A and B are shown apart, each in its own frame.
Chain A
Amino acid sequence: MGKLTFSMGGVHPHDSKFARERAIEELPLPQTVYVSMAQHLGAPAKPVVAVGDKVKVGQVLAEPGGFISAFIHSPASGTVKSIAPRKDLAGNPVMHVEIAVEGDEWDPAIDRSTDLVTAIPEDKAAILDRIKACGVVGLGGATFPAHVKLNPAPGKVAECLIINGAECEPFLTSDYRIMVERPKEIVIGAAIMQKVLGGCKCVIGIEENKPEAIASMGAAVAELGYPGITVQPLKKRYPQGGEKQLIDAVMKRQVKSGGLPIDVGAVVQNVATSLAVYEAVQKNKPLITNVLTITGDKMPVERQHNYLFRIGVPLSFIVEHAGGIPDDAAKLISGGPMMGKAISNLDAATVKGSSSVLYLSEAATRRHPETNCIRCGKCADACPMGLEPFLLNRLYKAADLEALEKNAAQDCIECGCCLYSCPAHLPLLDNIRQAKGQVMGVIRARAAAAKAAAEAAKK
């Protein structure tokens, strides 16, 4: 089978997957965990516990606060100490449930054995309910609630389920490690989602720089023998793991501006999500653990780790456990170097979408002084969405919202390829992100006005 890739744009940063040979280790529990109520896309969850309550591991802490929202479960057993705003990664106050950890008592309904459960339940609605009740969200970065994505609107048919094992962000190795260590669970998770979507075909896309993962996943697919699942090697190119890029690579179809993947018959889920779906449906285990990579550009490999952590453990605890911040680290990033967010508050708690703590040295992270645009067009070549970043940058500065919308600023996926490729070091992404926010505001306001007008007309 040939290697596939998406049709336009993209860049080739060094993959820097230094922590790839570090097997997953289980992180111990700290004395206190802080569970954020806004760790998924959509409305924040509403706490259902009160201060002083005793909770067990896996007990529901909060229920969805809207249609696009998710359940949140306790990652530890102990007493609820407080329910109060606490600063998140970026220093902004977010509601957190604080739990003083006492022992490690699990909810008895959770199957904690390591036995593989290969028989998939028949009832689709029951599977979806279980995925929702276990608070599974997309773990590829966007943390979109999985049960919403796996339940396409009426009239929309999924033709292909794409399991995203691209892990195109440099440095990150958490997806790689689970593909090597737990391939069978991932494949069963994929088969479950395949069933929910009505038995469409399923493609597991993995970049070529992870041959061990391709081999282990291929072996698991062959051994388990579910019909219609294939492993597809992909060329190494960033942002291959972007939802729309992956659909383009695997299905040769492009999602139109403002459209959803299901419009072209695709549903994309990350390998980690697939594992979470397996644990939810087959083991009744809610999403309370995830794998996170500790890595850096100037770090010895023996200091790098892949940790299985309980969601809600403070980042500072993980950093301490891994031996503290290295001396030459200038910047700490949560996520990959391309799309991750700088950590300004190390006391912040981990969330469902936490995928790494990345230490970058001064040389790797320092911004260069910006100079004038030389109209070389490298950003337009690099943009995987076919946008013209230099033009959007100029329109943003001129505050021309109409032209920004016409030039599809709202389609930007914030992958950072333009900024990465710009020889003049212009802050293209920073400005386009602002422009995108403004245009989205205009579009939303227009939609709300249209809805109000339609309702008024009905009356």
Chain B
Amino acid sequence: MTQTIIWTVAILTVLGLLLALILFWVARKFKVEEDPRIDEVEKVMPGANCGGCGFAGCRAFADAAVKATNLDNQYCPVGGDDVMQKVASILGFTVAKKAPQVAVVRCNGTCANRPRTNEYDGVQSCRVKAALYSGDTGCSYGCLGCGDCVAACQFGALSMNPETGLPVVDEEKCTACGACTKACPKHIIELRAKGPRGMREFVSCVNKDKGPVAKKACAAACIGCGLCAKTCQHGAITVTDNVAYIDFTKCKLCRECEAVCPTGAIHGVNFPKELDKEAVKKRIADRKAKAAEAAKAAAEATAAAAKPAEKKEVANG
């Protein structure tokens, strides 16, 4: 009996030592050198693995960041500047602050604005619907309303408004990861600068049809009239393919375009005061009148200046 116990203990001890040696050798031989900073960077990442940065997940982002020579090509939209600052301090880089962005739905084809022309009873998926036909309204560019963007959002920031039939972005929850912009087959969702205190101005329409066609399909469509582009003093608005676009890097939030838009396609959000259209229109009219006067005065001045010059020439001659 004692003999058996001794043998058992001895064999197991020897076996354990032997295996430990093998493990030690394998661990030495096949050791994977990994930069410890990858772990550190991953720890400060949000850990959502949403892919909004363009990498497969937070670890892939961290891996790429450690290997990179600067952080110019990488940005975590979920974590924003805070996280990027932390990543930069770990890796010893510097990063410029980036304006926070938010998803913006550029369609205002509510049930009231955009009458339904037929009834869709197929699968409730925008992708399937878009592949079948142009949609259940006269507008072939606008929101299809099946909520592919809502399904794509991992942060619960999107929801369908049953009254309008359009998606609504919860600005608090939106991380600007861009998943919804990719999920939308009509490409109506855009990432735009959040703006100071959330104030921003955008054209809520992507309809490229000519004015009358667009207007017939939707009361709130951009008809490409170009009034906004003419009014804008900052060169922020361009009209291409019958639809206006506001460049948010140039927009100064003066809201003049919003006041002059005949269809109400331009939206301003989060402004403290409601837009007094008449006052803004008057302001524009006054400015135009002043400019016209100034131009007239300038023309007279040049004419006056030219006359003595002519006389001089005559005198010289």
Contacts and interface: CB of A to CB of B under 8 A. Distances in A.
A92 B140 contact: yes
A87 interface: yes
Interface in A331-375: 341-342, 344-345, 365-367
B309 to A, nearest CB: 53
B232 to A, nearest CB: 29
A427 B134 contact: no
B270 interface: no
Contact of B131 (A345, A365, A437): A437
Contact of B121 (A344, A366, A431, A433): A366
The B contact surface, by secondary structure, is: loop
Given A92-B133, A344-B136, A367-B122, A430 B117 contact: no
A344 B118 contact: yes
A367 B121 contact: yes
B152 to A, nearest CB: 11
B14 interface: no
Interface in B111-170: 117-118, 121-123, 125, 127-128, 131-136, 140
A367 B118 CA distance: 15
A341 B134 CA distance: 12
A8 interface: no
Contacts of B131: 433-434, 437
A431 B124 CA distance: 11
A431 B123 contact: yes
Nearest to A367: B121
A366 B121 CA distance: 7
B127 A90 contact: no
A437 B131 CA distance: 10
Contacts of A344: 117-118, 133-134, 136
B259 to A, nearest CB: 32
Contact of B133 (A91, A431, A437): A91
B132 A90 contact: yes
Nearest to B128: A430
A90 B128 contact: no
A434 B185 CA distance: 12
Nearest to B209: A93
Contacts of A427: 122-123, 128
Contacts of A89: 133
A255 B168 CA distance: 49
A367 B132 CA distance: 16
B134 A90 contact: yes
Residue from A87, A92, A344, A427 with most neighbouring chain B CB atoms (10 Å): A344
A366 B136 CA distance: 16
A341 B118 CA distance: 14
Nearest to A92: B134
B121 A90 contact: no
Contact of A91 (B125, B127, B128, B135): B135
A153 B285 CA distance: 71
Nearest to A370: B123
A380 B197 CA distance: 57
Contacts of B118: 344
Interface string B44-60: 00000000000000000
Given A87-B134, A90-B133, A344-B136, A430 B121 contact: no
Contact of A434 (B121, B128, B133, B134): B128
A437 B122 CA distance: 18
Residue from B121, B122, B133 with most neighbouring chain A CB atoms (10 Å): B133
Interface in A52-94: 87, 89-93
Contacts of B128: 427, 430-431, 433-434
Contact of A93 (B117, B132, B135, B140): B140
A347 to B, nearest CB: 11
Given A92-B140, A93-B140, A344-B117, A430 B134 contact: no
A344 B133 CA distance: 8
A370 to B, nearest CB: 8
Contacts of A431: 123, 128
A31 to B, nearest CB: 21
Contacts of A87: 134, 140
Given A431-B128, A433-B131, A434-B128, A91 B140 contact: yes
A93 B121 CA distance: 23
A62 to B, nearest CB: 23
A89 B134 CA distance: 9
Contacts of A366: 121
Interface in B187-213: none
A430 B133 contact: no
Contacts of A433: 128, 131
Contacts of A345: 134
B132 A434 contact: no
B87 to A, nearest CB: 29
Interface string A238-257: 00000000000000000000
A79 B117 CA distance: 32
A280 to B, nearest CB: 32
A341 B117 CA distance: 17
Contacts of B132: 90, 341-342
Contacts of B134: 87, 90-92, 344-345
Contacts of B135: 91
Interface string B6-25: 00000000000000000000
A87 B133 CA distance: 11
A431 B129 CA distance: 11
A437 B117 CA distance: 27
Contacts of B125: 430
A430 B140 contact: no
Nearest to B132: A90
Interface in B84-131: 117-118, 121-123, 125, 127-128, 131
Given A91-B135, A345-B134, A430-B125, 12 more contacts: A87-B134, A90-B132, A92-B133, A93-B140, A342-B133, A365-B121, A367-B121, A427-B128, A430-B123, A430-B128, A434-B128, A437-B131
Interface of B: 117-118, 121-123, 125, 127-128, 131-136, 140
Interface of A: 87, 89-93, 341-342, 344-345, 365-367, 427, 430-431, 433-434, 437
9 contacts: A90-B133, A92-B133, A341-B132, A344-B136, A366-B121, A427-B122, A427-B128, A430-B123, A431-B128
